[in-house]
Amino acid sequence: MKRLILPLAALLLAAPLTAKTPEEVAAAALDAAPVWDGHNDVPEQLRSRRADVIAGFDFNDTTHEPDGKGGTKTMHTDLPRLAKGHVGAQFWSVYVSADLPEPQATVATLEQIDVTKRLIARYPDRLELALTSSDVERAMKAGKIASLLGMEGGHSIDGSLAVLRQMYALGARYMTLTHTKNIAWADSATAAPAHDGLTDFGKDVVREMQRLGMLVDLSHVSEATMMDALDTARAPVIFSHSGARAVEPHVRNVPDAVLARLKDNGGIVMQVAYPSYVSEARRQWGAALEAESKRQETLYPADSAAVTKEITAWKLANPEPKATIAQVADQIDHIRAVAGIDHIGLGGDYDGMDTGPAGMEDVSGYPALFAELARRGYSQADLEKIASRNMMRVLKAAEAYAAAHRNDPPIEYPVAKAG
């Protein structure tokens, strides 16, 4: 009998353990490496809904927030949903409109930095201001959300490297070179080209940002601007909230020629959840809605009620297509195929859009995306890289470059003289 028992025991020991489900793989990855999200527009919501007055704002429940128009509208982000989404680090976007004259944009950006810092300070048990990769590591280890500041658009510096340096001193750790419009030194993805990329001053902006240790963000910029920035950069760049243009041909997404260069640069594309950047059907629907709105405004130029009635009827006849988690994963698949697993992150753009994809409508939806990726064969190590390890590597590399160049003199330009 002993001869039978021993071989059986050996077989049992050699048998593989029960395979983990995709949900279990995702949960293990997110426990080990919480999400580091590249772009969230809560500060914009505080400005548009509350004029930056946060007395009475409860970040524990934003499901009935004022919409700034006399009603209420649910936000995508609050502390419980961030916890459910396993978000451990967040770039809060201190965005202001590209329609503002640049001196006004500078002031408004300072106001947005201020309100974001005030929000972080109100929740010291859950949020911690982070200025360095070490700060992020410490906050995450303590179970807090490491809170970094990202500027969205070079219009915020009013063409001044001095202002750029002061924004960095105040805590801004990335700057998106443009937003929706061209500026005097860089072309946007969503405007007719004016400079064929970056001007000489624009290239100096990139150089000065990297000397400081500020991440160069290429979301929103034209392909020529991307290429010029990569030619100029000596440290990794980021795309804080973009996708793969080969999968969804929106100009806000990253073309393959740029993705292929990320291997040499060391940079990262933080995959966006914005439906029009994820779903071609949603992008086409949005274009049709915009065209129909203009048509109705032409037909009823002095009758806004009639325009509203007709647009409502159009929407009923043409339901909005929903982006899906699978479509987000398709873009991540493509970025991995072209750039590699080391060059993928996440930048949802929550509270900067109407809704996220079905199943990822708000910040709580990240575990569902990770489960989908696990179903596609991504390992726990792969998922940890996407969640936050890739972004940590990028920030550490930017800091190392800045440390190596700490004795380089600031790039100087003469200021305009008054009178």
Closest CA to 127 of 40, 27, 238, 217: 40
Catalytic residue among 76, 86, 220, 343: 220
Alpha helices in 233-279 (DSSP H): 256-259, 262-265, 275-278
The partner residues of 346 in beta bridges, in order of sequence, read: 37, 271
Containing 151, the helix (H) or strand (E) segment is strand 145-152
Q: Any catalytic annotation for residue 64? A: no
Catalytic residue among 44, 333, 349, 351: 349
Our measurement of the distance from residue 260's CA atom to the centroid of its chain's CA atoms, rounded to an integer in Å, reads 20
Q: Any catalytic annotation for residue 320? A: no
Q: Any catalytic annotation for residue 39? A: yes
Q: What Cα–Cα distance (Å) separates residue 45 from each residue in 21, 76, 83, 179, 187?
A: 37, 10, 20, 17, 27
Q: 5-20 as b/e, with b when 16 or more CB fall inside 10 Å?
A: eeeeeeeeeeeeeeee
Q: How far apart are CA 171 and CA 117, in angstroms?
A: 9
Q: Any catalytic annotation for residue 41? A: yes
List the structure tokens of 394: 């990028």
Indicate the pairing of strand 65-66 with strand 72-73. antiparallel
Catalytic residue among 39, 155, 195, 334: 39
Containing 240, the helix (H) or strand (E) segment is strand 238-242
Catalytic residue among 86, 155, 241, 250: 241
Catalytic residue among 179, 250, 334, 343: 179
Is residue 82 a contact partner of residue 29, using CB atoms and an 8 Å limit? no
Catalytic residue among 37, 41, 65, 362: 41
Q: Any catalytic annotation for residue 405? A: no
Q: Any catalytic annotation for residue 330? A: no
Q: Any catalytic annotation for residue 86? A: no
Catalytic residue among 44, 128, 152, 248: 152
Q: Where in the sequence numbering do the catalytic residues fall?
A: 39, 41, 152, 179, 220, 241, 349
